[in-house]
Structure 1
Amino acid sequence: MAWSTRELAELTGTTVNTIRHYHRVGLLEEPDRRYNGYKQYRVRHLISLARTRRLVELGIPLARITDIDVTCPDASRELDAELRAAIEHLMRVRDDVAAVAREHAPLDTPRGFEAVARGLSAPDRAFLQVYARLAARDVLPDLLPMISAESAPLRLAFGVLPGNANEVARQRIADRIAASDANWRAVDGSEAVGHALAEARRELYNPAQQEVIARATSLRARQLSRCQFEIDEVGRGDLVDARARA
């Protein structure tokens, strides 16, 4: 008995186009043709197609089907490990999608930042994307509190600051950012990462915003230095008092 391409497709629950594709990639032998040019598939083609479809159902890529030894126990164990990894990946993806939906955040939000992403401007979201992709995974949690510490009015004021903003406007926003410890746009990293982030800042933010970021960084550094000096002074005073009592 012989079958046409359409009949073979219906018999095996696939499509004519799929069968043609299997011919092109060498997974299905070309059958003989009748005098009128129609293909005539035989039992060997049916077996070959059924085998291929089963392996595809198990998740084996077409490129590996001709090489796999279906009788080897190692093949099934290897496939099982790959499927477990794929399932774990899909579960993580599902959790990510659920978090994005729950917070009404943009779909491309980096993992862990869903709660703050919706309130970010387009340039801020783009900068967060770059940082989350380039920075070491263990430093990302430090960024979330900084973004959260930035109030919506302050974020808006920074976002709408024009490139030709005057000195007063620049300094006022820089003071507010430094006081809130929310200068997350100034984050840095290794030499290569720091260079990429600096380029991103130049591309995403206008000159006034870039200056505000730099000023806030300098202000915060001076504040921390002053606090440390005061702590040291208190410590020295305590030490003098302790010696006097002794």
Structure 2
Amino acid sequence: MWSTREVAELAGTSLRTVRHYHDVGLLDEPERRSNGYKTYGVEHLVRLVWIRRMTALGFSLAQVAAMDADGVDDAAAAELDAKLAADIERLQAIRGDLRALRTSTVPSDLPPELSAAATAQRLSPADRKFSVVLAQLVGPTRAEEYARMLTAHGRTAAGDDFDRLPADADEATVDDVVARLLPDVLRQVIDFPDLGTWSVEGGHDQRTAQRVILATLSELYNPAQLQVLSRVAVATAAARDAG
């Protein structure tokens, strides 16, 4: 009755797709006319329409092959339904992020849970980039905690001096910045102790995260700033152990 192209058009699919269904055993090969061309009938068309409907619902070709038109495999349907529910939740979250981006006046370089706080506290470009990497490593819960810390502990003169610290700063200048920055960091640690504990929510193990953080710090900050960060980290750890 119909050629391959005609039956494909009637079923709302493509010539290539029909041939692929033959190759994977989903659609029986039709008889050929005396001229060698395939002739498709109603059964082929009905089968094609059914396959197209099942694949449009989201079933894989392997799942379709295991079914018949009399019913749908319940386990496969349940698996697909769970996947669709997860997809809907993910897409709703994306729509929420898009709504926030469209109505927000802050830049979009940081994740939503950090952007407003980081912008309000005038983080330096290096600090913003570090915050992006940190949020990616620790996950949204810790990122939100970090945002609360930024809001609670605004910028100080010591933080501004750290941002302006030249790469060739002398030892006395580095010592001065360390001495003035350390109390700020210690207050942050006291008020937000969870920030000092590791979180697996970001999907990364602690050793990998530490390597990434060290590489990020080395790229974003100059040698004098790295000295300050190292000394502050050592002093903070000692204070935490002592307390």
Equivalent pairs counted in the alignment come to 224
Deviations 1:69-108 (A, max 9, x none): 643444434433332222122212222333344434436x
Residues 32-47 of structure 1: pairs in structure 2 closer than 5 A: 38-47=37-46
Taking the aligned partners of 1:64 and 1:112, their CA distance within structure 2 comes to 40
Contact persistence 1:150–1:177 (CA under 8 A): no
Residues 90-105 of structure 1: pairs in structure 2 closer than 5 A: 90-103=91-104, 104-105=106-107
1:56 aligns with 2:55: yes
Residues 1-246 of structure 1: pairs in structure 2 closer than 5 A: 1-5=1-5, 7-23=6-22, 25-31=24-30, 38-68=37-67, 70-103=71-104, 104-106=106-108, 109-110=110-111, 112-116=113-117, 123-135=126-138, 138-148=141-151, 149-151=153-155, 158-159=162-163, 161-167=165-171, 170-171=174-175, 173-175=177-179, 177-181=181-185, 189=198, 192=207, 193-217=209-233
Taking the aligned partners of 1:212 and 1:55, their CA distance within structure 2 comes to 62
Structure 1 residue 51: deviation in Å? 1.5
Secondary structure class of the residue paired with 1:106: coil
Deviations 1:118-146 (A, max 9, x none): 66566444433433333366544332233
Contact persistence 1:68–1:75 (CA under 8 A): no
Taking the aligned partners of 1:35 and 1:154, their CA distance within structure 2 comes to 90
When structure 1 is superposed on structure 2, of 197-206 and 32-41 the one drifting more is 32-41
Taking the aligned partners of 1:29 and 1:160, their CA distance within structure 2 comes to 74
Structure 1 residue 54: deviation in Å? 0.7
| Residues 122, 188 of structure 1: alpha-carbon distance in 2 compared, 3 angstrom cutoff | farther
Contact persistence 2:158–2:177 (CA under 8 A): yes
The TM-score with structure 1 as length reference comes to 0.65
Deviations 1:194-236 (A, max 9, x none): 344234323443322211222344566788899x8xxxxxxxx
Taking the aligned partners of 2:124 and 2:101, their CA distance within structure 1 comes to 17
The TM-score with structure 2 as length reference comes to 0.65
Using the aligned pairs only, state the percent identity: 35
| Residues 38, 130 of structure 1: alpha-carbon distance in 2 compared, 3 angstrom cutoff | farther
| Residues 94, 112 of structure 1: alpha-carbon distance in 2 compared, 3 angstrom cutoff | same
Q: Which has the larger radius of gyration?
A: 1
| Residues 44, 189 of structure 1: alpha-carbon distance in 2 compared, 3 angstrom cutoff | same
| Residues 38, 220 of structure 1: alpha-carbon distance in 2 compared, 3 angstrom cutoff | same
Unmatched 5+ stretches in structure 1 = 229-246
Structure 1 residue 178: deviation in Å? 3.4
Secondary structure class of the residue paired with 2:113: coil
Aligned to 2:202: none
